[in-house]
Chain A
C-alpha cells in the first residue's frame, strides 16, 4: 500500500500524521508526505537557505519527526536521518528521500492545494490519501473546502480525518456488492488501530435491500466476526442516507464506497460529496 499524507500547519494535520504512522506501521506501507505552499519565485533562490526560501520545509521536517515517533519502538521501515537534503526535481517538486526498507519521501509542491494533492497521488500511484480536517469546516485556509474537493476529485481512496476524540465506531455504508478485499482490509486496519466497533449499513432501495447487497452484508459481517471484530448491521433508506451520514458523531468514522458503478456515486454528485465531507462531524473515509 502507498499512502499520501497531506499536511498543513493546523493541529489536525499533526493528528493525521500520527494516525497515518499507525496505519503504516501495521501495513508496512510506502509513504509520501506532502506540504503545499503558494507558488513563489526568487531571483537567486540558490543563494537562500532552503528553509528560508520555503518555510514549509520546516513544517515537513517537524511532521517527519512526529511520524517516525508515532511508528513506535521496533518499527524499522524508514530512514530516520534528519540531514538528508531536499532536492528539486524536474517537475519543480522539492523532495527529501528517506526510504529504508519501505519508501518514505517528503514532498513540497506549489500551487492550489486540491490540484497539488490529487496530482501528487496520481504521480506517485497512491492507494490512499490521508488529510486532516477541522470540525464542521474544511480547514486548510479560511473558507476553504479543500478536504471535500480532494475527496471528490481523487482517483484513489481518501481518509479525511478529524481531530480527537479518537474514533470509537466505524460505520460502513454499503450500496452495492462490488467491494474489494483491499478496502475491507483497510476498514479492518482502522477498526484495529482505534479498537473501535464496526457497523455495516446496507442502503435500502425503495424500502428493500437488494439481494446482492444483503448477501454482501452477510459476507462482510462474517469476515469481521471471524476476526473478532465487534460488527453490527443496520439499514438506511436511500432517501435518508445523507441525514444518516450527517448524524455521525465526532467519534465516528463514516466509510463510503464510491465507484462508478455505485448508486452512491450517482446520489452524491460532486457538490454533495464536497459538502458532506466538509460539514460532517465525523471523519470520512471515501473508498474507491
Chain B
C-alpha cells in the first residue's frame, strides 16, 4: 500500500493549525505523508531595486523568515504523523506558487484549513479561485477536528459517479474505510436521476471496485438541514464539475458543513 503525498500550506492561522492537527489525527486512516509548504507573499509596494543582488538578498531573507515560522509551527504542535523533513518555502504569489508545486510535485491531494463561514459566499469564492479551478488533484478542506473516522460519499444529480468512485479508489484503495453513501437533493420530485437511482448507480460502481457502504441513504431537505445532518462524519467526499458555474444545492451543503470536505474534480 503506497503512502499518499499531500501538499499542506503551513501558516500562522487557526485554520492551518486545525488542518495540521486533523491530518495528523487521521494519518493512519489516510496513510499520508505531509509535505509542508509556506508561501511568503511580498508586499506590492515598489522597491528601490526590483532586480539584482539586493532583490535576491531580500527574497532570501523572506524565505529564511518563512522557514523559521514553519519550523516553529511544526515544533510547537508536536505533530505525531509523517511530515516530510524539508518544508518548501517560496516567495511569490500564493496561488501561482501552490499551483506550480502541485503540478510539479505529483501530489495525491492538496490539504488546507478553512474556518466554515455561515455565509457560503466565501466558499464559492474559493471554488472560483484560480488555485481551485486549476489544481490537478483533489482538495481536502479541513474545517474542524471531527473525531469520527466514518466518511460520507455524497452524490447529487450532477455528480460524475464514475469519476468520484475512481478517485475514491485511488485515495482509499487497500485501506479499511468505513463509509456511508448518501444521495442528496432538496426534494425528490422531478429529479433526474432520482436520488434512489443515484444510490443504486453509486452502489454498483463502488461494488465493482470492491467497496460496500455501511449504509446508503437519501438526504432530502434544505442545505442548512442537510449540512447539519452530515455533521457527525469525519469527512464528506463529493465530486464537483469545475466547468459549471451554476450554484447547486450540494455546493451550499458543502459550504455550510462543519466536517472536513474532500472535493474531487
List 8 A-B pairs, minimum CB-CB distance, nearest first: A236-B118, A232-B144, A234-B116, A232-B258, A218-B14, A235-B115, A244-B118, A214-B14
Q: State whether the Cβ of B48 lies closer than 8 Å to any Cβ in chain A.
A: no
Contacts of A236 in B (CB 8 A): 117-119
A202 contacts B by Cβ under 8 Å = yes
Instruction: For chain A, give the interface size range.
Output: 20 to 34
**B118 lies within 8 A of A234 (CB):** yes
Contact B119 A214 (CB under 8 A): no
Q: Is A180 an interface residue (CB 8 A)?
A: no
A residues less than 8 Å from B143 (CB atoms): 232-233
Contact present for B119 and A237 (CB under 8 Å): yes
Give a binary string over A40-81; 1 marks a CB under 8 Å from any B CB, 0 the rest: 000000000000000000000000000000000000000000
Inter-subunit contact A240/B119 (CB<8 Å): yes
Tell me, in angstroms, the Cα distance from A233 to B147 when the chains sit together: 14
* Docked complex: B195-232 residues within 8 A CB-CB of A: 224, 231
List 12 additional contacts besides A218-B14, A233-B143, A234-B258; criterion CB under 8 Å. Answer: A199-B258, A214-B13, A221-B18, A232-B144, A233-B115, A233-B116, A234-B116, A234-B117, A235-B116, A235-B118, A236-B118, A237-B118
Chain B interface, DSSP helix/strand/loop, else mixed:
loop
- Name the B residues within 8 Å of A244 (CB-CB): 118
Say how far A232's CB is from chain B's closest CB, in angstroms.
5
Q: How many angstroms between the C-alpha atoms of A240 and B18 in the bound complex?
A: 24
For residue B147, which residue of chain A has the nearest CB?
Answer: A230
Question: Which B residues from 1 to 19 make CB contacts under 8 A with A?
Answer: 13-14, 17-18
- Tell me the B101-159 residues at the A interface (CB within 8 Å): 115-119, 143-145, 147
A217 at the interface (CB under 8 A from B): yes
Q: What's the Cα separation between A202 and B122 when bound, in Å? A: 15
Judged by a CB distance under 8 angstroms, whether A225 is at the interface is yes
CB neighbors of A among B89-106 (8 A): none
Q: Which residues of B contact A26 (CB under 8 A)?
A: none
- Given contacts A214-B13, A225-B145, is CB(A233)–CB(B118) below 8 Å? no
Min distance, Cβ A105 to any Cβ of chain B, angstroms: 41
How far apart are B23's CB and chain A's nearest CB, in angstroms? Answer: 16
**Distance in angstroms between the alpha carbons of A240 and B122 in the assembled complex:** 13
